[in-house]
Structure formats: structure tokens, C-alpha cells
């Protein structure tokens, strides 16, 4: 089949790399001619103009996207001609934090208390109800910690609202958590489901830096609870493809933070760490192929993001259990340039591998 991708970043690139062995072809609609996917010479449109979207539709049998910030109107227009997965409904919900939280509440999935904010007075009223500390976020856009303000004290209220630049925002109660987890799953057109294990994520300044797969000391009940929440969401949205939910592990159980309707940074480890990567399973799902086995290839895996600077790449290449993935992007502060996957047969081996690569992690 011919697969069209709205976007031409590293996620689109890795989707294509996983799909070519399955005899699929790929086209991209990007913003420039030097994005990660376009640099590999795949068929692509340079800009998301009407002409280029029409080009992509003419090329493809099915279309997907790599960002929840994709224009819903464009997806709606395309879907009149050819299928788009995930569907318009799931994109509409997941690109707005208020709509996400409302869905969680509707489905009795635990999440932080919240209120929508459109003015300074709204913020003051919400803080009176929710209390402090609390996090003010833009309802749409924002990623890797951008568009957020953690409010500890009353005297920060004005600064918090001013930081939002007047856009619609959401105030969420602060969650005291033991660690951050995520769950990645895939749902096929035939309503088949596959789940990856819960993984533990470490962030620095809002950017994911390290993922451990599977998360250690997770009992069967916790995994089943996360999968239950995931299945409810997948089925409610008639979702097709890979969906990610980010969760907090708390003293009172799991709380869902947010969703991502796409392959996710915390699932990159699956390229070498699972029998079928998240990328391949997404392609399998949207092209009506049987979903692949999500069992781990090794009992311990990890992923380190390469941020801002490439660093000592030779050190990675010398490690027999490390796998380097670079995105062909120029160095820039807080930019994701690539990632390193590691596999191990013991926790000690994995910890030793991470220690060898400590220069890629925040000090």
C-alpha cells in the first residue's frame, strides 16, 4: 500500500523505515525540504498547502499523521476521499487538554482536577477551588515542557497568566507522584489490541531523557489497570493505530496525565527491544495487517534521548548492546537529535550500560 504521512519529522522517518520491509511505499507532507524524512529521498510535498495535500491524497491509499497538532480541518477534508488513521474524533480530543480531561472523567479514568481558564479572574477562581500547587498549561499546543507554569504561591498568579499570552489555558491540580510511566498500545481496524509493558520515564526541564522498559517493580494488577484504561479509550474513540497514555504512579494508584495519538518518544526502545516495534505496529494497524507480537526481545531495555548536541557518538558505536538512531538534524538547544537504545539480560548490565553513556544525560 501507499502510506501518506502528514509531517516529515523523525517519527515519519521511523514509520517509513519500519514499513518498507512490509512492501509499503511512503509519501510525506512536510514544511521544509530538509526535515528528517525528506532527507532520505522519500516522496513528499514541501509545504502543507492545499496543492500539496491534494498531491498526498492522490499518492496515498491511507494517511496518518505524526503530531496531535495536525489541523483537524485538513484531516476531515482528506477523510472524504481516503481513510485517515487515527480518526478525526481522536485527533480532536487529544489535541485539547480540556477535551482529554473531560473524556477521562466521562470514562471514570482517574486524572487530576482541572478547570478551563480564559482570564485572570478565571485563574483566581480555579486556584481557590483546586488549591496550590497547581500547573497552568495552554489547552492546545505546547510540548516538552513548553506552555506550562507551575504555581506554588499566590504571588505567582499574575506571572502565570501573563506567561500564557492570553490564550485559553487549563489549570490542573498538582499530582504527588512516585514516578512517571507511559503505556503504548495499538488497535487494529478489526478491533484487535496489543499492549506494550509499562515503561518508566525520566524528564529534565520537561524533555524526556531516559526510558526504562519495562518499568521495574510493576505488579500484574498495575499493568492490567493501565491496559484497562487504555482499552476503554481505544474503543471509545474507535481508534486505529498506536496510542500512548502518560501516567503518574501515586500512593493511591495510577492517574492518567494525557494522551498522544501517535507513536511516542517513550516507545522508541521497541525498535530493538520488542519483537514488533511501535512503528511497525502502527503501520500494520492502519494498513489492515495483523498486529505484531509486543513481547520484549530482552528482559531489560532502555532509551536515552540525544538532546542539543551529538556528543561522543563513537562511544555508543563501540558498545555491543547499544543501538544508535540519528535523525539528521542540526544541533540546537533542547532539540531531539536522535536516541540510543540499549538491551540487556540483567538489570546490572543495563545499569552499567546507562552509566557508560552518562554524558548523554543531564548532570
- 193 and 309: one domain? yes
CB atoms within 10 A of CB 52: 16
Q: Is residue 143 part of a domain?
A: yes
Residue 187's pLDDT is: 98
Kindly report the CATH number assigned to the domain that includes residue 29.
3.40.50.20
- 79 and 140: one domain? no
Residue 162's pLDDT is: 96
Cα–Cα distance measured from residue 24 to residue 120, given in angstroms and rounded to the nearest whole number: 51
Q: Cα-atom radius of gyration of the chain, to the nearest Å? A: 20
- 203 and 290: one domain? yes
Residue 44's pLDDT is: 53
Domain final position from 124, 146, 173: 173
Q: Is residue 252 part of a domain?
A: yes
- 274 and 213: one domain? yes
Tracing cell 497568566 back to the chain, one arrives at: 161
Residue 76 belongs to domain spanning: 2-84
- 201 and 311: one domain? yes
Q: Is residue 190 part of a domain?
A: yes
Cα–Cα distance measured from residue 304 to residue 236, given in angstroms and rounded to the nearest whole number: 33
Residue 33's pLDDT is: 73
- 75 and 217: one domain? no
Q: What are phi and psi of 285, to 5 degrees?
A: -65, -50
The grid cell for 14 is 521511523
- 185 and 235: one domain? yes
Residue 141's pLDDT is: 84
With a cut of 70, list the residues of the chain below it in pLDDT: 39-51, 143-145
- 165 and 188: one domain? no
- 141 and 190: one domain? no
- 258 and 356: one domain? yes
| Domain tally, the chain | 3
Partners of 306 in beta bridges: 338
- 79 and 186: one domain? no
Whole-number average pLDDT of the chain: 94
Residue 121's pLDDT is: 97
- 297 and 154: one domain? no
Q: Is residue 20 part of a domain?
A: yes
Q: Is residue 106 part of a domain?
A: no
Q: Nearest-5° angle of CA 349, CA 355, CA 358?
A: 150
Amino acid at each position: 500500500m501507499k502510506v501518506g504521512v502528514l509531517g516529515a519529522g523523525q517519527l515519519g522517518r521511523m514509520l517509513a523505515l519500519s514499513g518498507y520491509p512490509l512492501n509499503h511505499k511512503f509519501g510525506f507532507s512536510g514544511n521544509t525540504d530538509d526535515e528528517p524524512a525528506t532527507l532520505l529521498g522519500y516522496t513528499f510535498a514541501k509545504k502543507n498547502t492545499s496543492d500539496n495535500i491534494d498531491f498526498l491524497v492522490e499518492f496515498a491509499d491511507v494517511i496518518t499523521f505524526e503530531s496531535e497538532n495536525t489541523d483537524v480541518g485538513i484531516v476531515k477534508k482528506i477523510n472524504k476521499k481516503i481513510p485517515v488513521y487515527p480518526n478525526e474524533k481522536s485527533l480532536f480530543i487529544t489535541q485539547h487538554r480540556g477535551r482529554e480531561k473531560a473524556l477521562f472523567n466521562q470514562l471514570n479514568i482517574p486524572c487530576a482536577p482541572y478547570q478551563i481558564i480564559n482570564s485572570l479572574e478565571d485563574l483566581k477562581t480555579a486556584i481557590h477551588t483546586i488549591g496550590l500547587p497547581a500547573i497552568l498549561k495552554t489547552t492546545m499546543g505546547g510540548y516538552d515542557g513548553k506552555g506550562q507554569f507551575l504555581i506554588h504561591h499566590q504571588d505567582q498568579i499574575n506571572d502565570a497568566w501573563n506567561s500564557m499570552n492570553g490564550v485559553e489555558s487549563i489549570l490542573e491540580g498538582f499530582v504527588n507522584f512516585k514516578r512517571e510511566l507511559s503505556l503504548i498500545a495499538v488497535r487494529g481496524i478489526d478491533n484487535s489490541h496489543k499492549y506494550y509493558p509499562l515503561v518508566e520515564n525520566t524528564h529534565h526541564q520537561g524533555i524526556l531523557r531516559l526510558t526504562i522498559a519495562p518499568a521495574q517493580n510493576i505488579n500484574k494488577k498495575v499493568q492490567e489497570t493501565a491496559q484497562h484504561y487504555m482499552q476503554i479509550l481505544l474503543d471509545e474513540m474507535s481508534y486505529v493505530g498506536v496510542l500512548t497514555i502518560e501516567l503518574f504512579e501515586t500512593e493511591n494508584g495510577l492517574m492518567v496525565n494525557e494522551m498522544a495519538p501517535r507513536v511516542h518518544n517513550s516507545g522508541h526502545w521497541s525498535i530493538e527491544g520488542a519483537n514488533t516495534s511501535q512503528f511497525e505496529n502502527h503501520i500494520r494497524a492502519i494498513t489492515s495487517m495483523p498486529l505484531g507480537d509486543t513481547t520484549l526481545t530482552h528482559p531489560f531495555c532502555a532509551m536515552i534521548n540525544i538532546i542539543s548536541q551529538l556528543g561522543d557518538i563513537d562511544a555508543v558505536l563501540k558498545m555491543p548492546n547499544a543501538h544508535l538512531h540519528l535523525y539528521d538534524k542540526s544541533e540546537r538547544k533542547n532539540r531531539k537529535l536522535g536516541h540510543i537504545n540499549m538491551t540487556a539480560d540483567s538489570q546490572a548490565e543495563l545499569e552499567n550500560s546507562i552509566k557508560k553513556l552518562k554524558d548523554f544525560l543531564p548532570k
